[in-house]
Structure 1
Amino acid sequence: MTIDPYNLSLADQPGLILVTQQLSEDNYHSWSRAIRKALNAKRKLGFITGSVPQPDPTTEPEKLENWQCVNDVVSTWILNSLATSLVYTNSAAKLWNDLKDRFQHGNGPHVFELKRDLMNLCQGTMTISQYFTKIKVLWEELNSYRPVQCNCGDARAMQEFLQAKYVHYFLMGLDESYSQIRGQILLMEPLPAINKFYLW
């Protein structure tokens, strides 16, 4: 069943706040990811990616009116999560690209900090559950900075490599009282997914 991208429910009001975090100089990447997920959940992601383009006014005037209505709603949703506004843009896609150009800076320093935090993270006084949650948050944020993987044959090997790296980070920071279990896990070939051995 094809979903009509121009469909708006009663809940899709212009005043809706899609994400609670406001865009700032320091959080563009996580903010844009949250907005994209929220728009995708509402089947409106195409208005910022350009996959729902503006119809031709000469051949589709009625469709253009519907597009403009939904485009304005999507633009307003984005503006609702900004501390400052860019109200003079005429399309959600242009607004999105303007924000990307303005706020997306090099991620190198932040990626470096995340990797350093992962390498230095130790269980210490945390429970296994707390430690697992902390490392999972860091790992997922770091993962969000990686480029989208292609569907080629190497994608699976890369995913397995990254999962093994994740497991290693987790095992390195475990308290020494888990050294026997850690040793048993490291002898496994291939290494199990972190979610499986976490339950041991």
Structure 2
Amino acid sequence: MAEDVATSEKDNGGNVVDYNSPYYLHPSNYPRQMQVNDALSDKNYADWVQEMENFLFAKNKIGFINGSIEKPEKTSKDYMPWMRVDAMIKGWHTTAMEKEIRGGMKYANTVVEMWIDLRERFGKESAQRAYELKNKIAVTHQDGAIVSAYYTKLRSLWDEIQSVFPIP
């Protein structure tokens, strides 16, 4: 039988800490953590978004970028916790960007503004990127690689082209 895992406890000040709250920040979190394999560049937006969304989902912070956790009024008890988490996520995002891109993001007021701006800049369906991917597929050869490695290379290209031009 599985044990129940505590989802909250009292801190030293007697306050209840809810580990399942999207406002909870683990003590090991800090703004300059690199959360994705590669920094955002002109050529890897689709992969970067997928990794960042997965990371934020795992941290229970996805609502900050999809808009489901809106910024509370300044008079709300959730205002300061929301601001703290938003600042943390902005730090995670900017750390995971190339310097040229990061410079254009420093004036975003919230992480959702940053997320929307990035989608507008990099998330458009790109005919040029699709052309590049189609060419890569056309010139990809097995060249003595094992079948699974060759298939993995092709599958990666197919998946990327699907993310650029999704089939309805």
Category of TM-score, reference length = shorter chain: 0.7 to 0.9
Higher percent of residues as helix: 1
**CA displacement at 1:120 relative to structure 2:** 4.6
**CA displacement at 1:144 relative to structure 2:** 2.5
1 or 2 for the larger relative contact order (CA 8 Å, sep ≥6)?
Answer: 2
Indicate the larger mover: 41-50 or 24-33: 24-33
Q: Kindly indicate whether residue 37 of structure 2 is the aligned counterpart of residue 20 of structure 1.
A: yes
Q: Kindly indicate whether residue 63 of structure 2 is the aligned counterpart of residue 63 of structure 1.
A: no
Please list every run of 5 or more consecutive structure 1 residues that lacks an aligned counterpart in the other structure: 150-200
Match of 2:95 in 1: 80
User: Normalized against structure 1, the TM-score is what?
Assistant: 0.64
Q: Identity of aligned pairs, percent? A: 30
| Structure-to-structure mapping, 1:35-114, within 5 angstroms | 35-58=52-75, 60=76, 62-82=77-97, 83=99, 84-85=102-103, 86-114=105-133
| Structure-to-structure mapping, 1:152-191, within 5 angstroms | none
Amino acid aligned to 1:64: Y
Pairs aligned (count): 147
**Aligned equivalents of 1:88, 1:120: Cα separation in 2:** 42
Please list every run of 5 or more consecutive structure 2 residues that lacks an aligned counterpart in the other structure: 1-6, 8-18
User: Normalized against structure 2, the TM-score is what?
Assistant: 0.75
Q: CA offsets, 1:104-136, max 9 Å, x none?
A: 344222223323433453434222122122122
* Superposed CA RMSD: 2.4
